[in-house]
Structure 1
Amino acid sequence: MEKEINQIGADLVVKALEKLQVETIFGIPGIHNLDVYDSLLSSDLEHVTARHEQGAGFMADGYARTNEKPGVCLVISGPGITNIITPMGQAMADSVPMVVISSQLPTSVLDQGTGSLHELKNSTYLTKSVAKESKRVMHKDKIRSSIEEAYHLAMTGRPGPVHVEIPLDILQAPISKVESSIMNNYISYDPWEDLNQDNKIESAANLLQEADRPMIIAGGGSSQSTEELRKLVEELEIPLVQTIAGKGVISEEHLLCLGASIKFDSIQKRIKNADCVLAVGTELAPTDLEGTELKIEGILIQIDMDPGNFQRNFAADISLRGDAQRILSEVIDRLDFKENSNNQLKLEELGHSKEELVEHRGIDEKELDFTLDMLNVIREAVPEGGVLVTDMTSPAYVARSEYPAYSPRTFLHPVGYGTLGYALPAAAGAKFANPNKDVVALTGDGGFQFTMQELGVLLEHQFSLPIIIWNNDGFGEIRRNEELRHPNETIAVNHKNPNLEDLARSYEFSFSSVTNSSELKTVLEDALAKPKPEIIEIKAK
């Protein structure tokens, strides 16, 4: 029975989000999406008004990474889309589910070059380069289904961003009936579940059981497989190394967890010499390997939702398609844990040395010690389930391997796309998703200024969020690389920064400046106990 109503297309956007049980959306109102905002007036959806669409996108990213649901954004056509492209690129690179809904010019002037306000040539072509899909809704009856499809596509298979744009006349079109929801038509289980992989799973189990020198590489796609991976690691005594996205899949305090240390020669040698390598939820991309050239000479067993990953960077000998948790469970069911493993593991040989870290970072030991001391204090202050959100900044590069994560999704870092300006808004998004968790942002003074306007969101919502700014007066990492190319000559990397104390005061935040780890310990512990944000400057020079 169709229900008679008095609504317009924009109302269906909000109804679709409510049906999907979306709780929070991030966006900015503009003249072209006001119809949707009018509908939000009568909705229980929480809307977070970013100060720039890039901030909205990064908030949605942090929200999704820590909430296991897509982050949802609402932006205008034209500049709204171009501003959110960078966060979409980051989400695409790091497999973060996101839905971006934008308005569009009326259908009567689409793609005609009329010079209309916010006109953008081939907007869906633009967004397709950073999204799993970009779809234009051309009929009011397709609004609800298009948003539902986008939401589910963002989570299905390898997660990522999906864009839906809706022309103004479609948003304003009167609706005489509500289309039926198509949510029940979606596959609610692993799409590869019915694929018969029994023989390959049996072979994988036998290889792991009989291996003398096995290794596991765990990526972000294994984040739901903590118990299964821990069982494999402990029962077969297999060392596990994580990618940056996989940090915390099993606690980095575990004796057999090598952390995100794949970049070090000692770890790469161990992987090269392994007779069997199990890669779970990772495409083994150059960013996963931090620019190093990994060699796998043993048998490679790869578990992934995306079958393209089985040949993209390394050729898998045994490829298992589907949900990592389910497939690992099936492998474990075929193992005989009563039988002694052939593994010739020597615990004392695991791990990497400080000398390797110094060599890889290309910095002197004094600078490294300063960084490590600060990271140790942050780790001690942030509770086990707390979240550290980092930018592309010098201490974060060290933190990749040296900041231990104890559980999945507690160390956020924009590794795949490598954008600056991520930490502050992504930390805010993580806090919106987890209001009762401690969240800390760690950013450099250069990256901070990409998105520092999002301090306004924190001012508006007033929750505890320490913002640690590693102040080395510019783009410190690029400066270091320039000096390696031409010693004592640099260009465009030394900045005159604003007065951070005055900036904090203007947003009604507290402020502290520290020069050593003992000062940071006191300040950070106090900041986590405060009901509103605090800016903490670390004078890194």
Structure 2
Amino acid sequence: MSSKETTGQAITRSLIAHGIDTVFGIPGAHMYDFNDALYGAGDKLRFIHTRHEQGAGYMAYGYAKSTGRIGAYTVVPGPGVLNSGAALCTAYGANAPVLCVTGNIMSHLIGQGRGQLHELPDQLATMRGITKVAKRINHQSEAGPVMSEVVSKMLSGRQGPGAVEAPWDVFGQTGPETDRPLGTKAAHPAVDPDRIAAAATLISGARNPMVMVGGGATDAGGEIAALAELLQAPVTSHRSGKGIVADDHPNHLNFVAAYEYWKKVDVLIGIGSRLELQFMRWKWLPKGLKIIRIDIDPTEMVRLKPDVGIVADASDGTRALTDALAGARREDRTGEFAELNTDARSRFHAVQPQLAYLDSIREILPRDGFFVEEISQMGFTARFAFPVYGPRQYVTCGYQDNLGFGFNTALGVKVANPDKAVISVSGDGGFMFGVQELATAVQHKIAVVAIVFNNSAYGNVLRDQKQTYEGRYLGSDLTNPDFVALGESFGVKSFKATSPGELREVLEKALSLNEPVLIEVPIEKGSEASPWPFIHPAPHAE
């Protein structure tokens, strides 16, 4: 007789088969049979329970974003799904493979509006709006095929989050244990040689090409560096592309420096990038500019139509383009790029005190450590002023810009990378969105160093209300706890640093402790210089 298993056990077995080793989440009534199956998995699956569903979603996001592997979490339906919704939105915008496993009300009551526990009108439609794929398991026999389909769609092409729900009664339903199909990535689209030839022709006639990389090029750093070296073209990036080509590579241009070079660019080569920096932040295009795009998502060629569009994996497309241009190596221009970087740094040196503190962090954080930004004055400045040396090491929330994601995300980064240093840099406003997860860090021994820059304000709102609305302040001032005392009340080693030099010393000590640490850095309210002139620069003169 074949052995039996519940739907919950079938889902759990599928998670393990797909290489998932950690699930973040909070147990709940609808999910008990799945929760019990997770328990039964023993040491094959680590379950990390959080203090809020938001935290579970963000931790899964940090896990996925820092590794490229699936980050999984589980929450109850209805309010649990909605509480974690910001994390799914973030994963969708940042192309991260985050998997949400949730429940639903009893099968026969779905859609009837009877007011059942955690009932959400058309929950599946809600999840479909913020994921790449969302499916329901209606019967135990569907568990394996549905999981396989969802994983395949999450990982194929432009990656993204997925969601699986099962009704309350289905999780405990039993059926034969069968071989579970594995979801696999679809094959990369073949590189079109005609498109490569057209791109090579454009580049051959260019005097000042520039390469822009985004998160879709995360695994193509070597190929991109080779192309840039061949063309003696600068490589630049914004948030999601930071570190794909190291900041200290001779062809790398900080994006502040890149804006100066932009004046003379005749061909822009976008690789795995939406080109949001050039089209939405710089908002000024050189005359006669030609655009080449390499992107695995064909819809990108419609959204922002290039002169030559190459639908391909970033590595495959870039390698083919480099091969087509072989033998066309140009005169070395790295000295020019170094001067541009030096000049840019001299100009944004005025963004204080942020730059001094970020320099202290960079000095202590190991080269292969992770920096998790936040929507804060430090985070905004870090976009252009914090050097990064490897892909995935600068963790951002992408275009959602959702306040409060940082600390919780950093916990997921550390779980996925236990042997690497992980630093979260938050403002006081954002940190309080997820402060309860200090308890999670202690309970599960997640050694993240959280730095809270406390200016007693939503700093960006405060500045805008001062500068644009003549000091008509509304809701931008904050009353805060004593962060050191607060951290200690959770059992977290907590310190205060009042200068960049002191932060350097405290941070070095914190990283040596190998346990959760909180560092508060008091900042005078409204004292930070604005980083925005460098993020949204004025148009160049014609």
> TM (normalized to structure 2)?
0.92
1:52 lines up with 2:35 in the alignment: no
Q: What is the letter of the counterpart of residue 237 of structure 1? A: Q
Q: 1:321 aligns with which of 293, 308, 311?
A: 311
Match of 1:183 in 2: 182
Tell me whether 1:197 sits opposite 2:192 in the alignment.
Answer: yes
The percentage of counterpart residues that share the same residue type is 28
Q: Which residue matches 2:497?
A: 514
Pair 1:298 & 2:289 matched: yes
Which letter maps to 2:180? S
Quote how far apart the aligned CAs of 1:152 are: 2.3
CA shift for structure 1 position 354: 5.4
Alignment check: 8 A CA contact 2:153 2:185 kept: no
In the alignment, is the contact (CA less than 8 A) between 1:214 and 1:343 conserved in 2?
Answer: no
Instruction: State how far apart, in whole Å, the 2-side matches of 1:458 and 1:344 are.
Output: 44
Task: Select the residue among 496, 507, 512 that pairs with 1:529.
Answer: 512
Name the counterpart of 2:236.
Answer: 241
Unaligned runs of 5+ in 1: 359-364
Q: 2:227 aligned with 1:232, yes or no?
A: yes
Distance in structure 2 (CA, Å) of the matches to 1:338 and 1:277: 18
The range that moved more, 439-448 or 270-279, is 270-279
* Displacement of 1:142: 1.1
User: 1:153-192 to 2 correspondence within 5 Å?
Assistant: 153-175=153-175, 177-183=176-182, 186-187=184-185, 189-190=187-188, 192=189
Report the equivalent of 1:331: 321
Tell me the equivalent position of 2:537: none
Amino acid at match of 2:130: V
Which of 384, 394, 399 in structure 1 is aligned with 2:377? Answer: 394
What root-mean-square deviation, in Å, do the aligned CA atoms of Structure 1 and Structure 2 show? 2.1
Range moving further from structure 2, 197-206 or 463-472:
197-206
Q: 1:74 & 1:534 partners in 2: Cα distance?
A: 27
* Mapped partners of 1:254, 1:213: distance in 2: 18
- State the shift of 1:94 in Å: 1.0
| Structure 1 SS opposite 2:29 | coil
Q: CA deviation at 1:273?
A: 3.1
CA distance in 2, matches of 1:294, 1:167: 52
Shift of 1:301: 0.8
Compute the TM-score of the two structures, normalised by the length of structure 1.
Answer: 0.92
Cα shift at 1:349: 5.6
Q: Provide closer, same or farther for how the CA distance between residues 385 and 342 of structure 1 changes in structure 2, counting only shifts above 3 A.
A: closer
Instruction: State yes or no: 1:257 paired with 2:252.
Output: yes
Instruction: State the Cα distance separating 1:98 from its structure 2 match.
Output: 0.8
The 1-side partners of 2:50 and 2:201 are apart by 52
Conserved? CA contact 1:212–1:343, under 8 Å: no
Correspondence for 2:26: 28
Name the aligned partner's letter for residue 128 of structure 1. R
User: 2:346, 2:504 → 1: CA distance?
Assistant: 26
Task: Name the residue aligned to 2:432.
Answer: 449
Report Cα offsets for 1:244-293 as digits up to 9, x if no partner. Answer: 1000011111232113x2xx5x634533532211100011236x866441
Structure 2 unpaired stretches of 5+: 525-542
Check the 8 A contact 1:51/1:456 in 2, yes or no: yes
CA contact (8 A) 1:236 1:343 kept: no
Deviations 1:142-197 (A, max 9, x none): 1111112212221211111111111112212121x23443327x45531x12xx61
Are the counterparts in 2 of residues 268 and 295 from structure 1 also a CA contact under 8 Å? no
Aligned residues: 520
Pairwise CA distance, 1:348: 5.9
Aligned equivalents of 1:347, 1:38: Cα separation in 2? 58
Asked if 1:126 is matched to 2:126, the reply is yes
Letter in 2 for 1:147: M
Does the aligned pair in 2 maintain the 1:213–1:275 contact within 8 Å?
yes
Matched residue, 2:212 = 217
Does the 8 A contact of 2:230 with 2:329 survive in 1? no
User: 2:533 maps to what in 1?
Assistant: none
Larger CA deviation: 497-506 vs 329-338 = 329-338
Do 2:252 and 2:337's aligned partners in 1 also have CA atoms closer than 8 Å? Answer: no
Match of 2:362 in 1: 379
Q: What is the distance in 2 between the residues matched to 1:222 and 1:406?
A: 15
Q: For 2:68, give the aligned amino acid.
A: E
In structure 2, the CA distance between the partners of 1:339 and 1:226, relative to structure 1 (3 Å rule), is: closer
